[in-house]
Amino acid sequence: DVKVTQSSRYLVKRTGEKVFLECVQDMDHENMFWYRQDPGLGLRLIYFSYDVKMKEKGDIPEGYSVSREKKERFSLILESASTNQTSMYLCASTWDIQETQYFGPGTRLLVL
Amino acid sequence: SQQGEEDPQALSIQEGENATMNCSYKTSINNLQWYRQNSGRGLVHLILIRSNEREKHSGRLRVTLDTSKKRSSLFITASRAADTASYFCATDRNDMRFGAGTRLTVKP
């Protein structure tokens, strides 16, 4: 059974802290994605990766970076968290960029 | 970006009624997907329909695709309270983009 896990369901951080959000998939998928979801704005793509050590910017990469050192793990990094990064963060993976995406349960991040 | 735009933004119906949600997109696609999201959770894939298909079924779900109008519709037959969720469409083109979704409420 397909599984995408995210390191935390809820996270509270302070402004200026460095934040790591981890995503792990067990399906040997090439492609992984990070989205943020805010009320009324839907899902917005932050970054995606189509292979180990490869990354592409999405629509809103500012203030974020990513790391893909191993195929199964895709990390989202907030170098210096700000209050406007309070959001729900969703990770997804897929074997083919045009096919079904499998989502993790999401991490709700609150930056104080 | 190849983003889908869902309408209506919100839909409220009684249990047993049918629900219809729509998705518009702007350029040519290879496929279109519908996803469901229960409150505070990740998205779950429902149906993928390819550009050469016009209709697809999965249980109580039916999806249509009109490539000439660049429009897809998701129909839920005999809705249940458990169908209460947000529904999103997404299209391909190198990467997937999602609209703001339709918030469906099914009242028992």
Structure tokens at B21: 């949600």
Res B2: pLDDT: 47
Q: Does residue A21 register a pLDDT over 80?
A: yes
Mean pLDDT, residues B40-47: 90
Q: How far apart are alpha carbons A31 and B94 in whole angstroms?
A: 11
Neighboring chain A residues of B31 at a CB cutoff of 8 Å? 98-99
CB contact under 8 A, B100 and A99: no
CB-CB contact of A76 with A89 (8 Å): yes
Neighboring chain A residues of B96 at a CB cutoff of 8 Å? 33, 45, 94, 97, 101
Q: What is the pLDDT of residues B70-89, one digit of tens each?
A: 999 999 999 999 999 999 99
Count other Cβ atoms within 10 Å, centred on residue B94.
12
Q: How far apart are alpha carbons B26 and A89 in whole angstroms?
A: 26
CB contact under 8 A, A101 and B44: no
Q: A31-38 and A87-94: which strand pairing?
A: antiparallel
